[in-house]
């Protein structure tokens, strides 16, 4: 059999773009998750561990000093996955799950781009711009699953609209399954996934669009429309039923009243978030200028910009929502100079230089702040020294005052806590009993708060206090407390008995 050298090298280099892009993306992603920087993973592991041990999903909030609080575990399937992996492979297993979710996210993004952009440098440029903000979901949190769901819906819609092969169009039958998985993996973000699917049904509008054009659009896309609307009743296939669907409107509206949750804060224009929003507006302008119509791609980009302007947390939503817009801006162009209609087509050299600069700037921030390889850095999020001290004196079962950030880790270590980083579960609208989160904010919102009444009400065994807590300042001003052990930004205290 004769060796076909030309065919061999064509196969090897047929999609080298994907190899380069995914390698750069994975390098970027790895620097973001080389340690566990987010305390939320601990209440996820604890919740999943409870489900594995009991074999059922609880409707009562566990691991808290409060009794009889109703709960909705909107991320229970994500928690189950993280707990199972942690049990088998520890935190390195958790990192592996993050890498797998991140790789899937990058791959789905690239699949969308490669169907429309042919030039290597423009593929890299579009890929880096879109995924630059997705680094914020490369953490052990359910956001990673949500991002995959959103990108799956985008790819399915794109394949449906740009493919005449009916066999490939049947991929839209996966939409109800995605809906079921999303409501169980991350219920509060189910609305976003459904929104993408609904917006994809919107036909293109311009000055010449007629009613007959809309009717023709509906007739041609009956299968996709049916699958999208089937996603709605599928959201009830969850242990919490309608409560899961109502979780978002019941919870975060109250939490956003306070500015202590950094991810719910508005981005500033001088931050990396603000610059990204500004660049997204520029791409939206270029898209409208090129297409001269309003369609689902325009609506997605506009909605993403609006959401990202409200909360920093929603910047990853903007990244996904901008994927079609950025991709179609570059579609059909060989070099960036063509965006401006110049007769001078330029050379690939300038394109590669521009792309290299953008990639370098994007990746520089990723390599800053790596935590010296420490997997679990001792901090207010992860008060390891305090937990070790309590373990050493056999204090299991103790009632511990914790802050918003430290509660999850202490739950993970087996202690009952005052509050953790799920403010919605400590609001009366969810737990149907007490508004504990408001009480917590009142205690930590003023040096003139009634600390003594609060302390008498709960009679905690230990107090795990952050360095900026007003409650700590109060205790330091009296002689009634012993300060047992401290760490980076926190201290463990005990009242004299």
Beta-sheet strand order (sheet of 399-401): 416-417, 399-401, 462-466, 490-495, 481-487
Look at residues 336, 357, 356, 354 and name the one whose alpha carbon lies nearest to residue 346: 336
Whether 426 and 486 share a structural domain: yes
Residue 147, pLDDT above cutoff 50: yes
Residue 82, pLDDT above cutoff 50: yes
Q: Please identify, among 306, 333, 367, the residue that sits at the C-terminal boundary of a domain.
A: 367
Number of domains in the chain: 2
Whether residue 377 lies inside any domain: the answer is no
Residue 408, pLDDT above cutoff 70: yes
Greatest Cα pair distance in the chain: 90
* pLDDT reported for residue 392: 92
Q: Please identify, among 339, 367, 395, the residue that sits at the C-terminal boundary of a domain.
A: 367
* pLDDT reported for residue 370: 40
Assign 372 a pLDDT band (cuts: 50, 70, 90). very low
Whether 348 and 460 share a structural domain: no
Assign 144 a pLDDT band (cuts: 50, 70, 90). confident
Question: Residues 73, 105: contact at Cβ < 8 Å?
Answer: no
* pLDDT reported for residue 181: 96
Which has more pLDDT, 496 or 150? 150
Whether 51 and 142 share a structural domain: yes
Q: What whole-number percentage of the chain has pLDDT above 70? A: 76
* pLDDT reported for residue 401: 95
State residue 487 phi and psi, 5-degree precision. -145, -160
Assign 153 a pLDDT band (cuts: 50, 70, 90). very high
Whether residue 236 lies inside any domain: the answer is yes
Whether residue 414 lies inside any domain: the answer is yes
Assign 88 a pLDDT band (cuts: 50, 70, 90). very high
Q: Please identify, among 367, 394, 412, the residue that sits at the C-terminal boundary of a domain.
A: 367
Whether 31 and 95 share a structural domain: yes
Assign 374 a pLDDT band (cuts: 50, 70, 90). very low
Whether 238 and 347 share a structural domain: yes
Whether residue 374 lies inside any domain: the answer is no
Domain that holds residue 288: 5-367
Whether 333 and 389 share a structural domain: no
- Give residue-wise pLDDT tens across range 164-175: 777 788 889 999
Q: What is the mean pLDDT of residues 340-360?
A: 50
Residue 71, pLDDT above cutoff 50: yes
Question: Residues 68, 60: contact at Cβ < 8 Å?
Answer: yes
* pLDDT reported for residue 94: 86
- Give residue-wise pLDDT tens across range 311-330: 666 778 888 999 999 999 88
Whether residue 379 lies inside any domain: the answer is no
Whether residue 191 lies inside any domain: the answer is yes
Whether 119 and 192 share a structural domain: yes
User: Which three-class secondary structure state does DSSP give residue 484?
Assistant: strand
Which has more pLDDT, 147 or 164? 147
- Predicted TM-score (pTM) of this structure: 0.86
Whether 343 and 413 share a structural domain: no
Whether 140 and 275 share a structural domain: yes
Residue 288, pLDDT above cutoff 80: yes
* pLDDT reported for residue 313: 66
Whether 349 and 486 share a structural domain: no
Whether 302 and 241 share a structural domain: yes
Q: What is the Cα–Cα distance from 158 to 166, expressed in whole angstroms?
A: 14
Residue 14, pLDDT above cutoff 80: no
* pLDDT reported for residue 84: 96
* pLDDT reported for residue 368: 39
Which has more pLDDT, 272 or 396? 396
């Amino acid at each position: 059999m004769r060796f076909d050298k030309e065919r061999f090298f064509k196969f090897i280099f047929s999609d080298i773009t994907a190899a380069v892009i995914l390698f750069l993306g994975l390098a970027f992603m790895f620097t973001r998750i080389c340690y566990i920087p987010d305390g939320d993973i601990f209440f996820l592991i604890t919740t999943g561990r409870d489900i594995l041990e009991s074999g059922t999903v609880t409707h009562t909030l566990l691991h808290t000093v409060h009794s009889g609080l109703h709960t909705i575990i909107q991320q229970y399937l994500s928690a189950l996955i993280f707990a199972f992996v942690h049990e088998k492979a520890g935190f390195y297993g958790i990192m592996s799950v993050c890498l797998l979710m991140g790789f899937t996210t990058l791959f789905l993004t690239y699949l969308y781009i490669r169907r429309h952009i042919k030039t290597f440098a423009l593929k890299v440029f579009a890929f880096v711009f879109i995924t630059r903000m997705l680094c914020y979901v490369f953490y052990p949190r359910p956001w990673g699953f949500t991002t995959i769901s959103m990108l799956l819906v985008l790819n399915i819609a794109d394949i449906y609209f740009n493919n005449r092969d009916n066999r490939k169009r049947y991929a839209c039958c996966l939409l109800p399954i995605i809906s079921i998985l999303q409501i169980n993996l991350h219920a509060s973000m189910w609305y976003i996934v459904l929104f993408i699917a609904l917006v994809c049904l919107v036909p293109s509008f311009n000055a010449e669009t007629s009613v007959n054009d809309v009717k023709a659009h509906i007739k041609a896309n009956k299968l996709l429309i049916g699958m999208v609307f089937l996603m709605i009743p599928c959201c009830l296939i969850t242990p919490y039923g309608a409560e899961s669907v109502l979780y978002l409107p019941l919870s975060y509206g109250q939490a956003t009243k306070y500015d202590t949750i950094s991810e719910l804060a508005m981005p500033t224009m001088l931050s990396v978030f603000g610059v990204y929003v500004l660049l997204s507006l520029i791409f939206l302008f270029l898209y409208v200028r090129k297409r001269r119509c309003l369609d689902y791609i325009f609506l997605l980009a506009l909605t993403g910009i609006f959401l990202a302007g409200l909360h920093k947390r929603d910047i990853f939503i903007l990244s996904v929502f901008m994927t079609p817009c950025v991709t179609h801006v570059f579609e059909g162009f060989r070099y960036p100079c063509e965006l401006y209609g110049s007769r001078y087509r330029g050379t690939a050299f300038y394109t590669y230089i521009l792309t290299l600069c953008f990639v370098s700037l994007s990746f520089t921030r990723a390599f800053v702040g790596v935590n010296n390889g420490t997997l679990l850095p001792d901090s207010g999020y992860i008060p390891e020294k305090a937990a070790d001290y309590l373990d050493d004196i056999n204090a299991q079962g103790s009632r511990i005052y914790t802050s918003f950030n430290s509660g999850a880790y202490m739950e993970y270590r087996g202690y009952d806590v005052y509050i953790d980083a799920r403010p919605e579960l400590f609001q009366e609208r969810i737990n149907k009993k007490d508004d504990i989160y408001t009480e917590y904010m009142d205690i930590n919102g003023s040096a003139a708060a009634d600390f003594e009444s609060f302390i008498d009400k709960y009679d905690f065994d230990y107090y795990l206090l952050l360095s900026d807590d007003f409650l700590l300042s109060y205790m330091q001003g009296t002689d009634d407390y012993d300060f047992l052990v401290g760490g980076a930004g926190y201290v463990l205290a005990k009242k004299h008995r």
